[in-house]
Amino acid sequence: MCGIIGYVGNKEAKQILINGLLRLEYRGYDSAGIATVSPDNVLNIVKNKGRIKDLMENKNIDSLKGTVGIGHTRWATHGIPSETNSHPHVDQDKLFTVVHNGIIENYALLKDMLIKAGYNFYSQTDTEVVPNLINYNLKKEKDQSLESVLHAIKVTCDELEGSYALEILSPLIPNYLIVTRRNSPLIIGSGHGENYVSSDIPAILSYTNNFYLLDNNEYAVITNNSVEFYNESLTKIEKEVRNIAWDMSAAEKEGFDDYMLKEIFEQPKSIRETIGSRLLNGKTNLPDFEISEEKLKEINKIYIIACGTAMHAGLACKRLYEHLLGIETVVEVASEFRYKDPLVDDKTLCIFVSQSGETADTIAALRLAKENGATTIAITNVISSSITREADYTLYTHAGPEIAVASTKAYTAQIILLTILAINLSETLHMNLVLGTQLKQELVEIPSKVEKILSNIEPIKNFASEVYKETDSFFIGRLEDYAAALEGSLKLKEISYIHSEAYPAGELKHGPIALIEDNVTIIGLITNPLTAPKTLSNVEEVLTRGAKALVITNQIVDQSKFDLVYTIPEISEYLSPVLSVIPLQLFAYYISKEKGLDVDKPRNLAKSVTVE
């Protein structure tokens, strides 16, 4: 979850590290710190509890001299947020300082061993064992050269269990930065006379578009003008630099108050670019995905596996897959799938959805599916992320950098790409081509329909100003509307801290209606003509019990019965979540703004969940 940054170059490292941390703050923001090696080979560390702005105001920040440094913004796992528990951490002799993203699962055993060996510990973190263990292992080497330090780091990593991305700095090798990773994200940016390290691409996108990608258990030794790579046996290897064609402006607010609002308004563009050339001459075009008709005919079950918002995107497409392909489709939470001994074999198709491509539970579920012989597809937004290196096939959404913790444009792009994939599979099987043709026609119209919704935000903004003080809300819908209700409820919880739940509308009388009273808001989603009368009746039932009602619909509705009826453009029920979610995103956003909260960085959350 945490964000790490590193720099080796000819400029003062401090400001570059601060700039990177500001861009990584969505990964964690309960404490932060920076370490540099000064020109006279002195290790300097400044860290404190709070956000990056608090670090910038630290009275010691100007003491950070030097052109080599590392930084960290923390999402606490071991130990409360505090200055002591903040990274970077050092060994007792101050020979090594480390920043870490991940969890060291066997840290307690290692810590006990090191204490018995005479080492002292000061924090509650799992990370503090790492620099001390490097120190311990270096004592077994013949000297303190670069080669010996690298070997001590490798021996240390061999002893670690869990996940990590590590940056290691030492006055013993003052012009070098050593990094390694296992099941946590880490990229290296290549510049002119300077090199960068980061958890995510956007943090260093203003400096370079050229990146190296470390695989698990690989090491990089970095100076201002070189990056040398080693495998887990410390054999030198070569890596190609990758050019990532993301525009830096995509990671800036560009006049919007918040990243989340900007990303909501970017959805017409992200949807257009996700569709891109994938619909050509009336057919789908997925050149990176080719599965034979014979292989596809053997598939008897499809899993869509994801977490959080990405899982809701899968739910929105479940019925479409079953209707287009005639194959049972199950949507699973990745953290449940990996422990339930799922029924997966070589006749199973598993689709894994992750915005970052680094979600720990989703990657673990992917590995389990592959072990059982399943065909695997990754859908992600980040080129060469971990999930892409392990799946049989990868399809990229083209949402661009998503900085706000609460996902918006990634969700709609995921639904679009899942839909195109479903149509592609149906074309391969020669099934339900009429429905596929209808959906292809509607797909190309979606961006303009989203733009129409975004041109009419005042009704949602005004309703949010009326109900933002309320403490409970319920989202209801049927079929695809229920999937959108789940996502709308999650958005409201994430950024406004209002208790919110989503239910299939038909379940309202099976318990939840007992909670309906004055000062409760009901949001009803009604886009399917088959179920519209039933859901309307459910919404009317809550009005008699004192609730306020917001109805989002493209059906004919008596607007006088409800507090607000917000009309969205007509669209197939299979694609309706792409449109109905837009007013829900805006509703959550404006409630959060009314409450004076930090929309982009909600409490206790981080953008990418890279630990269990």
Q: Is 306 helix (H, G, I), strand (E, B) or coil?
A: strand
Instruction: Choose the catalytic residue: 2, 157, 307, 317.
Output: 2
283 in catalytic set: no
- Residue 67 reports pLDDT greater than 60: yes
Does 607 score more than 60 pLDDT? no
Question: Is residue 512's pLDDT more than 80?
Answer: no
Is the Cβ–Cβ distance between 179 and 218 less than 8 Å? no
**What distance in Å separates the CA atoms of residue 472 and residue 503, rounded to the nearest whole number?**
14
**Residue 592 and residue 496 in contact, taking contact as beta carbons nearer than 8 Å:** yes
Residue 295 is among the residues annotated as catalytic for this protein: no
Integer distance in angstroms from the first to the last C-alpha of the chain? 10
Q: Determine the length of the chain.
A: 612
- How far apart (Å, rounded) are the C-alpha atoms in residues 362 and 161? 19
Give all domains of the chain, ordered by start, each with its CATH number.
3-245 (3.60.20.10), 251-444 (3.40.50.10490), 454-594 (3.40.50.10490)
Strand partners, 350: 303, 376
pLDDT, tens digit (0-9, with 9 covering 90-100), for 561-593:
888 999 999 999 999 999 999 999 999 999 999
Q: Which residue among the candidates 318, 409, 548, 607 is catalytic per the annotation?
A: 607
333 within 8 A of 312, measured Cβ to Cβ: no
- pLDDT at residue 84, as a whole number: 84
Question: Would the pLDDT of 247 be above 70?
Answer: no
Tell me the H-state helices in 344-430: 360-371, 386-390, 409-429
Using one digit for the tens of pLDDT, what is the confidence trace for 114-172? 999 999 999 999 999 999 999 999 999 999 999 999 999 999 999 999 889 999 999 99
High-pLDDT (> 70) share of the chain, %: 94
152-161 long-range contacts (CB < 8 A, ≥24 apart) are: 153/178, 153/180, 153/219, 154/219, 154/232, 154/234, 156/130, 157/182, 157/217, 159/106, 159/110, 159/133, 160/104, 160/106, 160/110, 160/130, 160/133, 161/104, 161/105, 161/106
pTM attached to this predicted model: 0.77
Helix, strand, coil percent values for the chain (each to nearest 5): 40, 20, 40
Per-residue model confidence as pLDDT tens digits over 451-483: 999 999 999 999 999 988 888 888 989 899 999
CB atoms within 10 A of CB 121: 15
Please identify which residue in the block is written with the tokens 């399809």. Answer: 395
**Residue type, position 527, single letter:** T
Better-predicted residue by pLDDT, 37 or 517 = 37
Q: Virtual CA dihedral for 457, 318, 527, 312, nearest 10 degrees?
A: -30
Q: What is the pLDDT of residue 134?
A: 97
Banded pLDDT at 559 (limits 50, 70, 90): confident
Residue 413 structure tokens: 């792009």
**Weakest mean pLDDT among 319-333, 382-396, 542-556:** 542-556
Q: 447, exposed or middle or buried, with CB in 10 Å at 0-12, 13-18, 19+?
A: buried
State the chain's mean pLDDT as an integer: 89
Q: How far is CA 56 from CA 18, 33, 90, 513, in A?
A: 8, 10, 21, 50
- What is the distance between the alpha carbons of residues 47 and 288, in angstroms, rounded to a whole number? 45
Amino acid at 335: S
Q: How confident is the model at residue 541 (pLDDT cuts 50, 70, 90)?
A: confident
Q: What is the mean pLDDT of residues 4-33?
A: 87
- Cβ neighbours for 322, distance < 8 A, ≥ 6 positions apart: 328, 329
